[in-house]
């Protein structure tokens, strides 16, 4: 196990270096620091003096890759590559390119907490509700409940999440006035603002996941161990709960684990429409304002979380299935 973890960490570090370097080359080959200054200063007439001042305040006045005017290690460290790319590995995100030049690390820390309040309950509820609904359909397979349940799943996955948001806000916030339309409040008051986006996000993903899990359970029902369990006199509910569900946990973990990075990164759509100041809304604001420093940081964090999630999924396989060995 230890060898596997170390090997995965090595692979992950190589991938992270590649993603970070590619992102840096992409951003700085498309836009020079002067272009970034003009975009963020704004206005029709931007003087060279304003550009140089902006670059000096944010460290973009340095060479990109190598500073020949320095000596020793400063030839490498006194560069934009080191300050804006290599420093990300130490989780030093620096300041944004916007006029306010906010501390990106502080914003990520605060906004990730907000995103977790929305995404973590949703992640847990999504797995429980989807698995329970799929088991219900399998239990009543070849019946009207199963038929209309599958029809409902197809309808739910065919509808855009924007439709759920618009209808949900109109019905629950404007007509029934059960919850606020949008916004956010700290502490326990956050539950009032998060209840509607959690419910709508759960509904928007329920159809696809429940149908996927149903297909997994039906495949397991045809295995020999299921026929043996039934031959021993076990009831259908016990067969589904103790045998089918347990043996289908690996694909469930794979499917649910792919959503794990979004637990920390937040939802772009739901946070933007409901005015929740999480990381998802932070990315949208950065893209709209063309703040490349924030976008590069979020690309790095996304790659880091995806690599960590995949490693955790592989380790979780050994917990749910003793036959899996990581060596």
Res 143: pLDDT: 93
- For residue 62 the two structure tokens come to 């340095």
Res 129: pLDDT: 95
* Residue 266: pLDDT over 90: no
Each residue's pLDDT tens digit, 270-298? 988 898 999 888 888 888 887 888 888 99
Query: What whole-number distance in Å separates Cα of residue 298 and Cα of residue 300?
Result: 5
Query: What whole-number distance in Å separates Cα of residue 72 and Cα of residue 241?
Result: 65
* Rounded percentage of the chain residues whose pLDDT exceeds 70: 98
Q: What is the DSSP letter of 78?
A: S
- For residues 10-22, give the mean pLDDT: 88
Res 132: pLDDT: 94
Res 208: pLDDT: 92
Each residue's pLDDT tens digit, 75-132? 888 888 888 888 888 888 888 877 677 888 899 999 999 999 999 999 999 999 999 9
Res 44: pLDDT: 67
* Residue 324: pLDDT over 80: no
State the pLDDT confidence band at 258, using cuts at 50, 70 and 90: confident
* Residue 26: pLDDT over 80: yes
Res 47: pLDDT: 82
Q: Which CATH superfamily is domain 108-320 in?
A: MetI-like (1.10.3720.10)
Alpha helix positions (H), the chain? 2-30, 33-41, 48-58, 74-77, 80-84, 104-139, 144-158, 161-168, 190-221, 224-231, 236-238, 245-247, 249-257, 260-265, 268-273, 279-288, 292-320
Each residue's pLDDT tens digit, 149-188? 999 999 998 998 889 999 999 999 899 989 898 889 888 8
Q: What ranges do the domains of the chain cover?
A: 2-90, 108-320
pTM beyond 0.85, yes or no: no
- Contact assessment for residue 115 and residue 265, using Cβ atoms and an 8 Å cutoff: yes
Res 326: pLDDT: 66
Give me the residues paired with residue 95 across strands: 103
Res 170: pLDDT: 92
| N- to C-terminal Cα separation, the chain | 6
Each residue's pLDDT tens digit, 38-63? 877 776 678 888 888 888 877 788 88
Average pLDDT of the chain to the nearest whole number: 87
State the pLDDT confidence band at 145, using cuts at 50, 70 and 90: very high
DSSP result, 101-135: --BHHHHHHHHHHHHHHHHHHHHHHHHHHHHHHHH
- For residues 246-262, give the mean pLDDT: 87
Query: What whole-number distance in Å separates Cα of residue 144 and Cα of residue 133?
Result: 15
Helices 292-320 & 104-139, crossing angle to 10 degrees? Answer: 40
């Amino acid at each position: 196990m230890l060898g596997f973890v170390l090997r995965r960490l090595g692979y992950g570090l190589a991938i992270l270096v590649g993603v970070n370097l590619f992102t840096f080359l992409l951003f700085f080959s498309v836009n020079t620091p002067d272009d970034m200054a003009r975009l963020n200063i704004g206005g029709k007439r931007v003087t060279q003096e304003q550009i140089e001042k902006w670059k000096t305040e944010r460290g973009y006045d340095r060479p990109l890759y190598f500073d020949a005017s320095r000596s020793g290690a400063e030839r490498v460290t006194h560069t934009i590559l080191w300050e804006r790319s290599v420093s990300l590995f130490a989780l030093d995100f620096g300041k944004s390119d916007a006029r306010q030049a906010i501390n990106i690390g502080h914003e990520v820390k605060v906004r990730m907490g907000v995103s977790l309040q929305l995404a973590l309950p949703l992640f847990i509820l999504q797995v429980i509700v989807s698995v329970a609904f799929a088991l219900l359909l399998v239990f009543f397979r070849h019946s009207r409940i199963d038929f209309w349940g599958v029809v409902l799943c197809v309808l739910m996955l065919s509808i855009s999440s924007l439709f759920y948001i618009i209808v949900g806000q109109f019905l629950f916030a404007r007509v029934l006035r059960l919850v606020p339309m949008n916004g956010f409040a700290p502490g326990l008051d956050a539950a009032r603002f998060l209840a509607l986006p959690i419910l709508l996000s759960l509904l928007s993903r329920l159809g696809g996941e429940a149908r996927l899990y149903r297909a997994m359970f039906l495949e397991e029902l045809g295995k020999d161990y299921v026929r043996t369990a039934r031959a021993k006199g076990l009831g259908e509910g016990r067969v589904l709960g103790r045998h089918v569900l347990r043996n289908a946990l690996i694909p469930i973990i794979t499917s649910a684990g792919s959503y794990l990075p979004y637990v920390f990164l937040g939802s772009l759509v739901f946070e933007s429409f409901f005015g929740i100041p999480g990381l998802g809304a932070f990315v949208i604001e950065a893209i709209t304002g063309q703040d490349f420093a924030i976008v590069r940081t979020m690309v790095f964090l996304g790659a880091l979380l995806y690599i960590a999630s995949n490693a955790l999924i592989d380790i979780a396989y050994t917990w749910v299935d003793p036959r899996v060995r990581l060596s």
